[in-house]
């Protein structure tokens, strides 16, 4: 993108807007400091950000109860959905977030200028959804796996539309077995039958998940079935959230009801809500096809990790170099040739850009 040169007057105007905004934030923060000191806020509590609208957040108290609309202390920029926070309740039913807990991980997406921005945090697993139709290319699955591995969040493969799978499963079954052998959980689903989501419910339980995958694989259908009481169509956000400026990109955390089949009759009371948590937004669903560097790509193929660093040349590019540990492993059948071809393909696509 070409850098636009601003006139002196435009720069002055931008600086003025910025200064006014900072002043307002400082005033608000000053009022908060005074009110906190005057004991107008309750004790510190733990909570989790479930939605984010400009400078205001919705926080779910860890102890249960309804979500609370909170604003932020001035020093707390950059909170995202899924962050664990410390907050205090005000007397009017709203609250103030005073601290962020350390993050285990964060999911980032490039903004309009290509800069990576955090969009969600505290995620336990990335569910990579693909389908019997449109037929998945193993290269695309690998691409998603590499992107997931780069975030440090555990990937799970979800094959949807298994109602369309021929009885013996064919090549797709072989492909799935190969990923399962690498240690990746593989879940098969269909939204066409009532029991088609049992395995998915089990995988989601007690964890925070996101769904990613290509258009048409059935992400919306799966999420609709998991959250039958939510209207998730884009543009059907609540009146409250529509006030925000980031309506289409903001991520929301949903608490998943446990499936009826998972509800054992002897389940302890109060455990009905342990169906897991889902963070979703249109931007998150598209995650995976963002830019990576060549080292991340090699690292993202988990079966390569034992060999990386063992090539004869330190700067080996694993193409035709003698003594390449990866090429030798492919030769010996320890690394599948298709996965190596996929690695090459992804690295080549990076070098083209």
- Site of interaction with Zn ion (CB under 5 A): 311, 316, 318, 324, 326
Q: Are 130 and 157 in contact (CB under 8 A)?
A: yes
Task: Identify the residue whose tokens are 């932020």.
Answer: 72
Three-state SS annotation for 79-129? CCECCEEEEEECCCCCEEEEEECCCCCEEEEECCCCCEEEEEECCCEEEEE
Nearer to ligand GTP, 213 or 300 (CB): 213
Residue closer to Zn ion (CB basis): 222 or 316: 316
Distances (CA, A) of 94 to 36, 64, 71, 87, 332: 14, 16, 8, 10, 63
In angstroms, what is the minimal distance from the CB of 115 to ligand GTP? 24
Per CB under 6 A, 257 contacts ligand GTP: no
CA-nearest of 147, 286, 154 to 217 is 286
200/338 Cα distance (integer angstroms): 28
Per-residue binding letters, 161-180, with ligand GTP (x by CB under 6 A): x-xx----------------
- 164 binding partner (options ligand GTP, Zn ion, none; Cβ < 5 to 8 Å by kind): ligand GTP
Examine residue 192 and tell whether it contacts ligand GTP (CB under 6 A).
Answer: yes
Residue 318 binding target from ligand GTP, Zn ion, none, CB below 5 to 8 Å by type: Zn ion
Buried b / exposed e along 1-12 (16+ C-beta atoms within 10 A): eeeeeeeeeeee
Residue 190 interacting with ligand GTP (CB under 6 A): yes
Q: Is 5 annotated as a binding residue?
A: no
**Which segments are annotated as binding site?**
160-163, 213-221, 311, 316, 318, 324
**Which segments are annotated as binding site for Zn(2+)?**
311, 316, 318, 324
**Which segments are annotated as binding site for GTP?**
160-163, 213-221
* Interacting residues with ligand GTP (CB under 6 A): 160-161, 163-164, 190-192, 213, 215-221, 285
């Amino acid at each position: 993108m070409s850098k636009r040169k601003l006139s002196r007057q435009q720069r002055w105007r931008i600086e003025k807007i910025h200064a006014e905004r900072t002043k307002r934030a400082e005033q608000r923060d000053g009022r908060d400091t005074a009110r906190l000191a005057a004991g107008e806020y309750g004790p510190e509590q733990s909570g989790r950000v479930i939605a984010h609208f400009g400078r205001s957040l919705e926080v779910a108290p860890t102890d249960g109860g309804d979500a609370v609309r909170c604003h932020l202390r001035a020093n707390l920029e950059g909170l995202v959905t899924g962050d664990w926070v410390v907050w205090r309740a005000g007397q009017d039913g709203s609250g103030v977030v005073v601290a962020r807990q350390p993050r285990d991980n964060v999911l980032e997406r490039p903004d309009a200028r290509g800069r990576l921005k955090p969009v969600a945090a505290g995620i336990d697993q990335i569910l990579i959804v693909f389908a019997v139709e449109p037929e998945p290319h193993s290269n695309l699955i690998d691409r998603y796996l590499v992107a997931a591995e780069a975030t440090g969040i555990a990937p799970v493969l979800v094959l949807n539309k298994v109602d369309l799978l021929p009885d013996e499963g064919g090549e797709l079954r072989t492909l799935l077995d190969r990923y399962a052998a690498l240690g990746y959980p593989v879940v098969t689903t269909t939204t066409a039958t009532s029991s088609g989501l049992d395995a998915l419910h089990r995988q989601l339980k007690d964890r925070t998940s996101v769904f990613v995958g290509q258009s048409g694989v059935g992400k919306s259908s799966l999420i609709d079935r998991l959250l039958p009481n939510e209207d998730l169509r884009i543009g059907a956000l609540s009146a409250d959230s529509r006030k925000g400026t980031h309506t289409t990109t903001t991520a929301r955390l949903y608490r998943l009801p446990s499936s009826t089949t998972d509800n054992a009759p002897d389940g302890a009371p109060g455990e009905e809500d342990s169906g897991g948590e889902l963070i979703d937004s249109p931007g998150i669903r598209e995650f995976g096809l963002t830019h990576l560097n060549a080292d991340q790509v090699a690292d993202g193929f988990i079966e390569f990790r034992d060999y990386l660093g063992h090539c004869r040349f330190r700067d080996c590019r694993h193409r035709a170099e003698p003594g390449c540990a990866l090429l030798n492993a492919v030769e010996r059948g320890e690394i599948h040739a298709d996965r190596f071809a996929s690695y090459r393909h992804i690295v080549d696509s990076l070098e083209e850009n």
